[in-house]
Chains A and B, each alone.
Chain A
Amino acid sequence: MDKLLLLGDEAIAQGAMDGGMSGIYAYPGTPSTEITEYVQASKFAEENNIHRNWSANEKTAMEGALGMSYAGKRSMVCMKHVGLNVAADPFVNSAITGTNGGMIVVVADDPSMHSSQNEQDSRFYGKFAMVPIFEPANQQEAYEMAYHGFELSEKLKSPILLRITTRLAHSRSGVQRMKQIPQNEAKIPENLRQFVLLPAIARKNYQGLLSNQVNMETASENSSYNKYFEGTDKNLGIVASGIAYNYLMENFTNRELKHPLVKIGQYPIPRKQINKLLDECEKVMVIEEGYPIIEEMLRGFQDKGTPITGKYDGTLPRAGELTPNHVAQAFGFDSEEGEPIPEIVKNRPPAMCQGCGHIEAYNALNKALSEYSEGRVFSDIGCYTLGALPPYEAINSCVDMGASITMAKGAADAGLVPAVAVIGDSTFTHSGITGLLDCVIEKSPVTIIISDNFTTAMTGGQDSHALGKLEDICAGVGVEKEHIHVFKPTKKNFDEMVDIMKKELAYDGVSVIIPRRQCVQTMKNKKLAEQLKQLGLK
């Protein structure tokens, strides 16, 4: 089979397609986006009718994947770590229903918050839901885990969580492909009540999940992704998981590693190997990227009381991405750094693009709000979040997908009137519509600005479910037609924009203002151009 040069994300997509996947479900989110994009660009996926359209959000994606599993086929669902918060309900419950066709949940964590609002560790969700977790160390393992994951899921009748972090997601390396496995035939579950989580059935399923834990542990102990490496210096034993293993070994390319080592790539953590390490060694160091989850587990795992060292005692940093240098420090190795960064080097934060429609919308909003006291603009997740930075400094919150509208409502409930929400078109259809309904039901005095650029821009210009639908959605939810305004945010229209905003800020009810202009990054997208022409939006 051929060898490909792939991002970790792409390796997962290729592994899933080679492993007989029938459908992938996702909402774009850095660093997970490229998994689905790879399938969308694949000729093989097209020829074999693999489902690959974007979903409205991570929850609908997770449920779509579970539905495909119900029907007997192999499905994958992908998201960034905070996306799993949105999809937590179907995820945790999918462990109770179990699967029929194999199902893999890929979650890409973002330690150091390169492109995120927190650095939560998805392995906690996997442990919480009591499902097996895969954590690849490199692109090849990522490929193989996706490839073999469906089979394990079908064998254990459980969804599998495949957890990666930014560095692996966005790093490229050679990947050896394996033999193509055909897709499953559709086949409904043998027990037609398996997915009916009425309390009486759910209790039974939950007992099943509990008794299945021993099978998951056995699978881990026998997994080729979990390895015990013997060592002669037992003053210290080492546990390293996922890509932390690479950073460990990087430090021993020119040194001999004499300590016993357990490399972990599959959870639940392998009891047999871990107990051997705890029994043999005076002390154990845990190296993992993300939260100290293995470290915490080992502290409660043993009766022997072997001291555990890692993130809790400061041997390794508690926050941020792990690096080979952190591991060198943990072992007390001297590492000779280059020259320090000269003081003249200034920060260069990301910024909205030149010619971006959000800029004109913010300029108008700042002007329209100038007669009110400051601190009343609630925003959301997207390029427009960069409106928090100078010179705009136009927004006062960015919390989670959809929170602009609902937080504006809560603030208005508390008397902060007018309250303003700024949200993008794709984020609005992801999680804004239900919040808008809350506002309409109470006729809350909020002004909602949906800055429409026809795309999911921050993640690289993916399709927006809102395309051509925004006014109808808002009117359908119950916003009064005379309080829905659409205009093109340009310098020329500045005065008109400010007038409309002022008028609606003064209105004692729900207003929706839609500044609408195509994202400058998508100008070469031919498919989008055709869609815009058909919708008369150009």
Chain B
Amino acid sequence: MKTDIVLAGVGGQGILSIAATIGMAALENDLYLKQAEVHGMSQRGGAVQSHMRLSDKDILSDLIPKGSADIILSVEPMESLRYLPFLEKEGWLVTNTTAYKNIPDYPEEEVVMNEIKKQKKYIALDADKIASELGSKRASNIVMLGAATPFFNIPFESFEEGLRKIFGRKGDKIVNMNIEALRAGKEFADKNK
């Protein structure tokens, strides 16, 4: 069993907290893990990605070969398209629909959505809106992770356990809020996949 995930977003959007939760869930299940991150200059508002690889066997390359990612998980719609060459034919594109416009030539949102809808298997959701309705816009990352959980070979409970470990220090309220966010994302994906 293996799951290769390309995490995508814009520097400062916090894709590394998604990665950390997946990491915890993987450790719960005694999986091998490699996660290549982007640090440095690109973190200043540039396009960032993280390659995350989980497997029950030893993992070799830190980078996912093109054409073999099982999931693209993006917290920004245009960024989700940047990594299409990595996506396997039967892979899932899971993306937030809230655009992050820090460049002057950002395309029309409708045009971006049309490209996303061309994909064979995709889940597109307004994670910012869902998170706001739950009471914390900052949990939109976790909503996105929730929407991708059906495509991992990891039990859903392990992700909840991962959140408990990561946010445990911040108290029950924060933990529960994030677990709710995770469930809301999963619910959307289950209905729309």
Question: Which residues from 125 to 184 on chain A have a C-beta closer than 8 Å to any C-beta of chain B?
Answer: 167-168, 170-174
Question: Which residues from 93 to 146 on chain B have a C-beta closer than 8 Å to any C-beta of chain A?
Answer: 102-107, 111-112, 115, 119
Residue of A nearest to B11 (CB): A350
User: Is A348 within 8 A of B33, CB to CB?
Assistant: no
Q: 0/1 per residue, A333-352, Cβ < 8 Å to B?
A: 00111111110111111111
User: Is A338 within 8 A of B11, CB to CB?
Assistant: no
User: Is B107 within 8 A of A344, CB to CB?
Assistant: yes
Residue of A nearest to B41 (CB): A115
The reply on A30 being an interface residue by CB < 8 A is yes
For chain A, what secondary structure do more than half of its interface residues adopt (helix, strand, loop), or is it mixed? loop
Checking B40, B43, B84, B103 against A342 with a beta-carbon cut-off of 8 angstroms, the contacting residue is B84
* Total contacting residues, chain B, CB less than 8 A: 51
Q: Which residues of A contact B41 (CB under 8 A)?
A: 30, 114-115, 350, 458
Q: Which residues of A contact B115 (CB under 8 A)?
A: 342, 344
User: Is B32 within 8 A of A174, CB to CB?
Assistant: yes
Given A115-B42, A173-B33, A174-B33, A337 and B66 contact (CB-CB distance below 8 Å):
yes
Given A171-B34, A346-B105, A351 and B44 contact (CB-CB distance below 8 Å):
yes
When A and B form their complex, what is the total count of cross-chain residue pairs whose Cβ atoms lie within 8 Å?
151
User: Is B107 within 8 A of A341, CB to CB?
Assistant: no
The reply on B193 being an interface residue by CB < 8 A is no
The reply on B91 being an interface residue by CB < 8 A is yes
* Total contacting residues, chain A, CB less than 8 A: 50
User: Is B66 within 8 A of A325, CB to CB?
Assistant: yes
Given A30-B40, A172-B23, A246-B61, A350 and B105 contact (CB-CB distance below 8 Å):
no
Query: In this complex, which of A335, A347, A350, A460 has the most chain B Cβ atoms within 10 angstroms of its Cβ?
Result: A350
Question: Which residues from 352 to 368 on chain A have a C-beta closer than 8 Å to any C-beta of chain B?
Answer: 352-353
User: Is A243 within 8 A of B66, CB to CB?
Assistant: no
User: Is A325 within 8 A of B35, CB to CB?
Assistant: no
| C-alpha spacing A115/B46, complex, angstroms | 12
The reply on A383 being an interface residue by CB < 8 A is yes
Question: Which residues from 225 to 264 on chain A have a C-beta closer than 8 Å to any C-beta of chain B?
Answer: 243, 246-247, 249-251, 253
| C-alpha spacing A3/B11, complex, angstroms | 30
The reply on A201 being an interface residue by CB < 8 A is no
Q: Which residues of A contact B23 (CB under 8 A)?
A: 5, 172
Checking B40, B78, B84 against A338 with a beta-carbon cut-off of 8 angstroms, the contacting residue is B84
Given A324-B65, A325-B65, A458-B41, A339 and B60 contact (CB-CB distance below 8 Å):
no
Checking B32, B35, B38, B65 against A323 with a beta-carbon cut-off of 8 angstroms, the contacting residue is B65
User: Is A246 within 8 A of B103, CB to CB?
Assistant: no
| C-alpha spacing A337/B11, complex, angstroms | 26
The reply on A31 being an interface residue by CB < 8 A is yes
User: Is B87 within 8 A of A339, CB to CB?
Assistant: yes
User: Is A167 within 8 A of B36, CB to CB?
Assistant: yes
Checking A170, A346, A353, A383 against B37 with a beta-carbon cut-off of 8 angstroms, the contacting residue is A170
Q: Which residues of A contact B38 (CB under 8 A)?
A: 114, 170
| C-alpha spacing A390/B34, complex, angstroms | 37
The reply on B86 being an interface residue by CB < 8 A is yes
Question: Which residues from 437 to 472 on chain A have a C-beta closer than 8 Å to any C-beta of chain B?
Answer: 458-460
Given A250-B65, A336-B67, A340-B85, A350 and B44 contact (CB-CB distance below 8 Å):
yes
| C-alpha spacing A328/B68, complex, angstroms | 13
User: Is A345 within 8 A of B81, CB to CB?
Assistant: yes
User: Is A171 within 8 A of B37, CB to CB?
Assistant: yes
The reply on B166 being an interface residue by CB < 8 A is no
| C-alpha spacing A345/B122, complex, angstroms | 18
Q: Which residues of A contact B91 (CB under 8 A)?
A: 338
Residue of B nearest to A249 (CB): B60
Checking B45, B60, B67, B106 against A337 with a beta-carbon cut-off of 8 angstroms, the contacting residue is B67
| C-alpha spacing A390/B102, complex, angstroms | 12
| C-alpha spacing A172/B42, complex, angstroms | 18
The reply on A403 being an interface residue by CB < 8 A is no
Q: Which residues of B contact A353 (CB under 8 A)?
A: 44-45
User: Is B40 within 8 A of A459, CB to CB?
Assistant: yes
Residue of A nearest to B114 (CB): A344
Q: Which residues of A contact B60 (CB under 8 A)?
A: 246-247, 249-250, 253
Given A338-B88, A341-B81, A459-B40, A171 and B35 contact (CB-CB distance below 8 Å):
yes
Given A34-B39, A174-B32, A458-B40, A346 and B103 contact (CB-CB distance below 8 Å):
yes
User: Nearest-CB distance from B32 to chain A (Å)?
Assistant: 7
| C-alpha spacing A349/B38, complex, angstroms | 14
The reply on A26 being an interface residue by CB < 8 A is no
| C-alpha spacing A341/B86, complex, angstroms | 10
Checking A328, A342, A344 against B65 with a beta-carbon cut-off of 8 angstroms, the contacting residue is A328
Given A250-B61, A350-B11, A170 and B105 contact (CB-CB distance below 8 Å):
no
| C-alpha spacing A221/B132, complex, angstroms | 61
Q: Which residues of A contact B59 (CB under 8 A)?
A: 173
Given A171-B37, A174-B32, A246 and B62 contact (CB-CB distance below 8 Å):
yes
Given contacts A34-B39, A345-B107, A350-B43, 12 further A-B contacts (CB under 8 A): A115-B40, A170-B37, A171-B36, A249-B60, A338-B66, A338-B67, A338-B88, A339-B84, A345-B81, A350-B42, A350-B44, A390-B104
Q: List 18 A-B contacts (CB under 8 A).
A: A30-B39, A115-B40, A171-B34, A171-B37, A172-B37, A324-B61, A324-B65, A335-B66, A344-B81, A345-B81, A346-B78, A347-B47, A347-B103, A349-B46, A350-B45, A351-B46, A351-B102, A390-B104
For the complex of A and B, the 7 pairs showing the least CB-CB separation, nearest first, are A115-B40, A30-B40, A350-B46, A250-B61, A338-B87, A171-B62, A171-B36
Query: Which B residues are within 8 Å of any A CB, using their own CB?
Result: 10-11, 23, 27, 32-47, 51, 59-63, 65-67, 69, 78-79, 81-82, 84-89, 91, 102-107, 111-112, 115, 119
